Chain A
Amino acid sequence: MSFTLYDYALSGNCYKIRLFANILNVEYERIAVEFYPGAEHRSEKMLQISPAGTLPILKKDDMVLSETSAMLFWMAKNFNAADHWWPENDVAAQAQIIQWMGFASDLTATIGQGRLHALFQTPIDKDKIVKGGRAALRKIEAHLTEQSFDGFSFLTGDKPTIADIACFPYVALSPDVGANIGLDHDDYPAIRNWIYALKSLNGFIPMPGIYAMHELKDHEIDYGAQKPFKTGAAQ
Chain B
Amino acid sequence: MTNVAVGLSKDLPNGRVMRAIVGEQDLVVWRSKSGVLSAWDNRCPHRGMRLSHGFVRGEALACVYHGWHYDKTATCRYIPAHPELEPPETIKAQRFSSTEKGGLIWVSIEEQSTEPSIPDNLKAIRSISFACPMMALKQVIRDLDFTLVKDDNSGWVIQEKSDDQWMMKSIKANISLHLFFQNLSEQTCKIHALANSDCAPDTMKKMSQALEHIRRLAEKHYEVVVS
Q: Interface on A for B, CB 8 Å cutoff?
A: 134, 138, 142, 145-146, 149-150, 182, 186-190, 192-193, 196, 211, 213-215, 220, 222-225, 227, 229-235
- Compute how far the CA of A230 lies from the CA of B60 in the bound complex, rounded to whole angstroms: 12
- Compute how far the CA of A214 lies from the CA of B57 in the bound complex, rounded to whole angstroms: 8
Determine whether the beta carbon of A222 is less than 8 Å from that of B8.
Answer: no
With contacts A145-B208, A214-B57, A233-B75 taken as known, whether A150 is within 8 angstroms of B129 at the C-beta atoms is no
Interface of A is mostly: helix
Determine whether the beta carbon of B18 is less than 8 Å from that of A192.
Answer: yes
Determine whether the beta carbon of B58 is less than 8 Å from that of A222.
Answer: yes
Determine whether the beta carbon of B126 is less than 8 Å from that of A196.
Answer: no
With contacts A189-B11, A224-B32, A234-B75 taken as known, whether A149 is within 8 angstroms of B58 at the C-beta atoms is no
Residues on the B chain within 8 Å of A187, using CB? 129, 190
With contacts A229-B71, A233-B73 taken as known, whether A223 is within 8 angstroms of B58 at the C-beta atoms is yes
Closest CB pairs A-B (n = 9):
A224-B58, A224-B59, A189-B11, A187-B129, A229-B71, A222-B58, A234-B73, A149-B201, A149-B204
| Residue contacts A-B, CB under 8 angstroms, 10 given | A142-B208, A150-B201, A182-B129, A186-B20, A224-B58, A230-B75, A233-B71, A234-B73, A234-B74, A234-B89
- Compute how far the CA of A222 lies from the CA of B15 in the bound complex, rounded to whole angstroms: 12
Q: How many residues of B contact A (CB 8 A)?
A: 42
- Compute how far the CA of A187 lies from the CA of B129 in the bound complex, rounded to whole angstroms: 6
Residues on the B chain within 8 Å of A192, using CB? 11, 16, 18
- Compute how far the CA of A230 lies from the CA of B76 in the bound complex, rounded to whole angstroms: 11
> Given A149-B204, A188-B129, A224-B69, 7 more contacts at CB 8 Å?
A134-B131, A186-B20, A223-B69, A225-B58, A229-B77, A233-B71, A235-B73
Residue from the list A182, A186, A214 in contact with B19, Cβ < 8 A:
A186
- Compute how far the CA of A24 lies from the CA of B226 in the bound complex, rounded to whole angstroms: 52
Residues on the B chain within 8 Å of A189, using CB? 7-8, 11, 18, 126-127
Residue from the list B32, B55, B71, B89 in contact with A213, Cβ < 8 A:
B55
- Compute how far the CA of A188 lies from the CA of B127 in the bound complex, rounded to whole angstroms: 8
Residue from the list A190, A214, A233, A235 in contact with B126, Cβ < 8 A:
A190
Determine whether the beta carbon of A234 is less than 8 Å from that of B92.
Answer: yes
Within 8 A of A (CB), among B50-80: 52, 55-60, 62, 64, 69, 71-75, 77-78
Nearest Cβ on chain B to A177's Cβ, whole angstroms: 16
Determine whether the beta carbon of A229 is less than 8 Å from that of B60.
Answer: yes
Determine whether the beta carbon of A142 is less than 8 Å from that of B212.
Answer: yes
Nearest Cβ on chain B to A206's Cβ, whole angstroms: 13
